[in-house]
Structure 1
Amino acid sequence: MVQVDEIGTPDGARSAFEDLKASLRRLLATLLDRAFGIALTGVERLAHGLDEVTARGGIPLNALVGGGLAALGGRNPVWGAIVGAFRALSPGARVAVIAALMLALLLLPLTVVLLLLVLIVGAIVAATRSAD
């Protein structure tokens, strides 16, 4: 005689149903694992490709990317391009740019005085030529 549980299902059918559920769970877990593995591989390939483009692109590409990201973020794209280009420089070039900017700031008063002297001399020369 066949054993029947409390809801009227034979024991053999119940164990087959449990086996089917367990198999489907394993199948779903395997499919999800494979799908996430494929997606992760694709993301890693994309990141590697972007790294290569950035490494080969140099300063202009980094400036373009920096300006684009700044524009998307609602910031000034020109400043973003400057920052992007600066990030593409080697450490030695960065130090040289910073040193040149510091030197320009320190020599700015002298430059203004020299420019004023050139303008004064130019005005004197123009005045003497027009008087002759």
Structure 2
Amino acid sequence: MLATLLDRAVGIALDKVERLARSLDDIAARGGVGLNALLGGLRSTLEGRNPLWGAVTGAVSALSTGAKIALVAALVLALLLLPVTVVLLLLALIVVAVVAAVRSGRAGR
């Protein structure tokens, strides 16, 4: 009788744990990007990995397919435009240096 009671108590506890796990999975599936990022970071921390990378992968996994494609396109575009941005920055610095030299030359007269 004690064994039956213990078996039923363990069965009830396992059912509760399974129900909790299912509800957490539902929350993660419907929780959006922020919640998935948080859960991914926590999961990575508990596994001893980098929590930032876990948060990023968790957030990306919550995105829709269209949003993932847009993210990849934006990253590729940013990489392609990086040299142009660096050249424009260098040109701006040259202009600032020339203007500063001209102003200091006029002030010395």
Q: Pick the TM interval, shorter chain.
A: 0.7 to 0.9
* 1:81 aligned residue: 55
Q: How does 1:10-49 map to 2 (within 5 A)?
A: 32=7, 34-35=8-9, 37-49=11-23
Matching of residue 55 in structure 1 with residue 29 in structure 2: yes
Shift of 1:38: 2.7
1:121 maps to amino acid: V
Q: How does 1:100-111 map to 2 (within 5 A)?
A: 100-111=74-85
Tell me which of 40, 59, 71 is aligned to 1:66. 40
Please report the RMSD computed on the Cα atoms of aligned residues, expressed in angstroms. Answer: 2.4
Paired with 1:124 and 1:79, the residues of 2 have a C-alpha distance of 44
Paired with 1:74 and 1:45, the residues of 2 have a C-alpha distance of 27
TM-score (norm 2): 0.77
Cα deviation code 1:18-70 (max 9, x no counterpart): xxxxxx7xx957974x4565344323321231123223431121111111121
What SS class does the counterpart of residue 35 from structure 2 fall into?
helix
Residue-pair matches, total: 106
Q: What are structure 1's unaligned runs of at least 5 residues?
A: 1-23
Q: Which has the higher contact order (CA 8 A, sep 6+)?
A: 2
What SS class does the counterpart of residue 85 from structure 2 fall into?
helix
Residue identity (%): 63
Is the radius of gyration larger for structure 1 or structure 2?
1
TM-score (norm 1): 0.66
* 1:93 aligned residue: 67
Shift of 1:99: 0.8
